[in-house]
């Protein structure tokens, strides 16, 4: 019984992490805009006027 | 989380009910999630990719799809981290919905009347494979993301041929991918893709399914809270719709959480292994050293068999191979092998299907992909 609940909790944690990744990829609630990926942030910094 | 499910010994008689209300509720969950997935994410994404899919992916250009981390910003020995994270990000939406859909598929079919609906999905051979292929087409998923859905069918009682067919139907008969391939590539390459898909689905899958011995996984890996497969016997019919809905939702939650625990970590690990392969042997970066002959075709087929990419990405990858001068033979091998299977699909399905089945699928992918490459090169 205890092992079953441990599996359920761990599985729920994994599912929540996957859901959060999906939400970020979908730009749900503007998450991706608020926290841009490092690759995009670096490209933006290079193209900004202050970088020239 | 799970409620007590009434379990009745299956009655294999002419009076077996046509349906179980819990099965109907499970099917409603499956259709609902699929509708949300297609309308909110997958179709808009596929249509937006269609406008940029003709940008060849070469070593010196950005990928046609978004990136979280830039591999060029990492030391050579650590580039695999960036590739692995990017692959996880590219597949995140598909994999999350794959868990939900796999759990829903298993829920719908585990409540199905044992002899009626299961007879339909339990057909083996070419018919079963073809049915699975048809069921896989509307998923619009790559072979990595459709693997959990395939497992959901299998654990719910579908034949192995049907379950494997779901993966290939989704990966190789993606309607928008096929449209792009016919528009952007030589007709012999497009025809090779169709022929490869049909041979894999209707010949290889039935042959490979015979390698699986023992009882179906649904009898071995029942999710927690369900001690035995429930039946659509008289008890299932007498349950009211509200109670049937609650039991279906509870079973779906249990199945989905179970899938996530069993499949999520292997998916993540396999993605980083694919990242290692990409960093050592990027398909678009091996030009100049292997020519356009047999070696190029075999190496392209081998790399394509092992790696796994998001849906439709095989198209800019193939265009990149063509742009780098590797020839139509190697490009054809990439176009066929990359979407078909890979290490992620192997890692995810190995536990349920045994290693022989996914291993044989990979071997067949390599062999047929190479053969098609040689044939197209000779034309």
pLDDT in tens, B175-200: 878 888 888 888 999 999 999 999 99
Q: Give the closest residue to B150 by CA, choosing from B105, B194, B193, B185.
A: B105
ipTM score here?
Answer: 0.81
Q: Are B72 and B81 in contact (CB under 8 A)?
A: no
Asked if B96 lies within 8 A of A19 by C-beta distance, the reply is: yes
Query: How many residues can be counted in chain B?
Result: 379
**How many Å lie between the alpha carbon of A6 and the closest alpha carbon of chain B?**
11
Task: Tell me which residue in B68, B95, B260 faces A37 most closely, judged by beta carbons.
Answer: B68
Q: What is the pLDDT of residues A16-46, one digit of tens each?
A: 999 999 999 888 888 888 888 877 666 666 5
Q: Who's near B85: CB < 8 A, 6+ residues apart?
A: B68, B69, B275
Residue B253, CA distances (Å) to A40, B23, B43, B61, B119 in order: 36, 15, 26, 43, 26
Q: For residue B265, which residues of chain A lie inside 8 Å, CB to CB?
A: 14
Q: Which two tokens stand for residue B279?
A: 């960093």
The model's pTM = 0.72
Per-residue pLDDT of chain B (379 residues; tens, 9 = 90+): 444 444 444 444 455 666 789 989 999 999 999 899 888 877 777 677 666 666 666 555 545 455 788 888 888 888 888 888 888 887 788 888 888 988 888 888 788 776 666 777 888 899 999 999 999 998 888 898 899 999 988 988 889 999 999 999 999 998 878 888 888 888 999 999 999 999 999 999 999 998 886 544 433 333 333 333 444 444 445 789 999 999 999 999 999 998 888 888 877 887 787 788 777 776 556 655 666 689 889 999 998 999 887 777 888 788 877 877 778 999 999 999 999 989 889 988 998 898 999 999 999 999 999 999 999 999 8
Q: Are B139 and B166 in contact (CB under 8 A)?
A: yes
For chain B, say whether A45 makes contact (Cβ under 8 Å). no
Q: Who's near A13: CB < 8 A, 6+ residues apart?
A: none
Count how many pairs of residues, chain A against chain B, have C-beta atoms within 8 Å. Answer: 71
Q: For residue B66, which residues of chain A lie inside 8 Å, CB to CB?
A: 37, 40
Return d(Cα B276, Cα B70) in angstroms, integer: 15
Q: B227 — phi, psi (to 5°)?
A: -80, -25
Asked if A38 lies within 8 A of B264 by C-beta distance, the reply is: no
Asked if B99 lies within 8 A of A15 by C-beta distance, the reply is: yes
Return d(Cα B187, Cα B204) in angstroms, integer: 24
A-contacting residues of B 53-112, CB under 8 Å? 66-70, 73, 88-90, 92-93, 95-97, 99
Q: Give the closest residue to B352 by CA, choosing from B231, B228, B225, B215.
A: B215
Given this model, what pLDDT does residue B52 score? 65
Given this model, what pLDDT does residue B249 score? 96
Return d(Cα A52, Cα B261) in angstroms, integer: 48
Task: Tell me which residue in B88, B259, B265 faces A21 most closely, judged by beta carbons.
Answer: B88
Q: Are B91 and B142 in contact (CB under 8 A)?
A: yes
């Amino acid at each position: 019984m205890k092992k079953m609940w441990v599996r359920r909790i761990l599985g729920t944690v994994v599912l929540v992490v996957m859901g959060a990744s999906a939400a970020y990829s979908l730009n749900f609630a503007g998450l991706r805009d608020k926290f841009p990926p490092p690759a995009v942030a670096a490209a933006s910094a290079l193209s900004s006027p202050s970088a020239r | 989380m799970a409620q007590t499910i009434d379990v009745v010994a299956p009655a294999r008689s002419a009076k077996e009910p046509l349906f179980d209300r819990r099965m109907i509720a499970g099917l409603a969950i499956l259709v609902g999630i699929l509708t949300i997935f297609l309308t909110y994410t997958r179709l808009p994404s596929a249509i937006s990719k269609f406008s940029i899919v003709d940008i060849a992916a070469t070593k010196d250009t950005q990928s046609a799809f978004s990136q979280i981390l830039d591999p060029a910003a990492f030391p050579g020995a650590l580039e695999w981290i960036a590739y692995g994270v990017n692959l996880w990000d590219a597949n995140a939406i598909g994999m999350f919905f794959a868990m939900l859909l796999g759990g829903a598929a298993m829920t719908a079919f585990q409540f199905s009347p044992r002899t009626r609906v299961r007879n339909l999905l339990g057909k083996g051979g070419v018919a079963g494979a073809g049915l699975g292929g048809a069921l896989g087409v509307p998923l619009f998923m790559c072979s990595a993301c459709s693997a959990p859905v395939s497992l959901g069918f299998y654990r719910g009682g579908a034949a192995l041929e049907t379950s494997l067919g779901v993966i290939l139907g989704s990966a190789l008969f993606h309607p928008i991918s096929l449209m792009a391939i016919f528009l952007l590539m030589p007709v012999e390459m497009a025809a090779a893709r169709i022929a490869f898909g049909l041979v894999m689905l209707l010949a290889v899958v039935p042959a490979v399914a015979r390698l699986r011995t023992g009882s179906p996984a649904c009898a071995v890996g029942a999710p927690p809270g369900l001690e035995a497969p429930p039946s659509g016997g008289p008890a299932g019919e007498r349950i009211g719709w509200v109670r049937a809905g609650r039991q279906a939702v509870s079973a779906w939650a249990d199945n989905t959480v179970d899938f996530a625990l069993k499949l999520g970590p292997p998916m993540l690990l396999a993605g980083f292994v694919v990242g290692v392969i990409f960093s050592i042997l990027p398909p678009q970066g091996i030009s100049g050293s292997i020519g356009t002959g047999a070696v190029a075709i075999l190496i392209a087929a081998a790399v394509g068999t092992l790696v796994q990419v998001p849906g439709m990405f095989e198209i800019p990858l193939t265009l990149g191979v063509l742009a780098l001068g590797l020839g139509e033979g190697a490009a054809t091998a990439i176009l066929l092998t990359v979407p078909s299977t890979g290490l992620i699909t192997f890692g995810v399905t190995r536990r349920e299907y045994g290693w022989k089945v996914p291993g044989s699928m990979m071997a067949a992918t390599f062999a047929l992909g190479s053969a098609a490459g040689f044939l197209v090169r000779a034309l």
